[in-house]
Amino acid sequence: MSENLSERIGGALPAASPTPRRHEPIHPGSGRPGLGKRLAGGLAALAALLVKAKSLLLLLPKLKLLTTFGTMVVSIGAYALLFGLPFAVGFVLLLLLHETGHVIQLRREGIKASAPMFIPFLGAVISARSMGKDAAAEARVGLAGPVLGTVATLVPLTIWLATGSDLWRALAYIGFLLNLFNLLPVVPLDGGRAMAALSPAIWLVGLAALVALTIFYPSPILFLILIFGTLESWRRWRARATPEGRAYYSIPAATRALIGAVYLGLAALLAVGVAETFFSRGL
């Protein structure tokens, strides 16, 4: 009996072929995506990147406006520390309208111009690839800032005359003074650009006046303008003798006369405005 059982067991064991155990992989396949899937993933990533790039391009004008708005806020904060918030807001708005005059005229001349960017205690700047096709266009661009800036200054002047408020008087004064200062016949100031249409020789007169102003009222801003004005005047004075320079400064006499009349009239009006709104700190 035991032998039969042993034979059965002994015979059964070799006869039974063990069934191989099948292990299911955790991830089907070899673990690497196929070529088609890899290409599809790459194309999807590229499409997402292009969508983001398109979105950034659409947002670019808004980013420029944010730059203008952001630098305005910084400038307002800086001026407010010295002069108070109401004056700081009014002063920055006057700067904005002055620079907007340049932007409007540049676009009328067919030139793309950036939105204004503000630099605390230095004013505001715009950038453009050129100032126009000739000296007359440059003069129009230069004078457009003080013209619109003067018109804007009439607002605080009117409010001061109606209310007698010293705040509005101070804003009217600084508006007139800002635009009058910019009419100094020194490049890169607005007056220097206007003088390009009359006679570049007047730049020498403007530089002499700026030197005197810097001596009597020393200021970092005046020093910077004097340095850049001297370098720019020298560069342009040398370039005026070239064929391109002669063509650039060759404009009709009637245009010169009109630009000269606008310049002198505007300067006289601003000088009267400065004199009428001036008041000492003791008042």
Per-residue burial over 18-54, b if 16 or more Cβ lie within 10 Å, else e, is eeeeeeeeeeeeeeeeeeeeeeeeeeeeeeeeeeeee
Q: What is the mean pLDDT of residues 95-109?
A: 94
Query: Mean pLDDT across the chain, nearest whole number?
Result: 80
The answer to whether the CB of 240 falls within 8 A of the CB of 200 is yes
Distances 30 to 4, 23, 24, 35 between C-alpha atoms, Å: 50, 14, 12, 13
The pLDDT assigned to 148 comes to 96
Q: Kindly list the distances between the CA atom of residue 8 and the CA atoms of 11, 12, 13, 71, in Å, as whole numbers in the listed order.
A: 5, 6, 8, 98
Query: Each residue of 182-216: pLDDT tens digit?
Result: 999 998 899 999 998 888 788 888 899 889 988 98
User: According to DSSP H, which parts of the chain are helical?
Assistant: 2-15, 35-83, 85-108, 135-163, 166-181, 190-198, 202-216, 220-239, 243-249, 253-277
Mean of the pLDDT values across residues 118-147? 89
Phi and psi dihedrals of 172, rounded to 5? -65, -40
Rg (CA), the chain: 37
Q: How confident is the model at residue 267 (pLDDT cuts 50, 70, 90)?
A: very high
Q: Are 251 and 136 in contact (CB under 8 A)?
A: yes
Listed by start position, the domains of the chain span 60-277
- Is the predicted pLDDT of residue 246 greater than 80, yes or no? yes
3-state secondary structure of 198: helix
Mean pLDDT, rounded, for 51-72: 56
Is pTM beyond 0.85? Reply is: no
pLDDT(26) > 50:
no
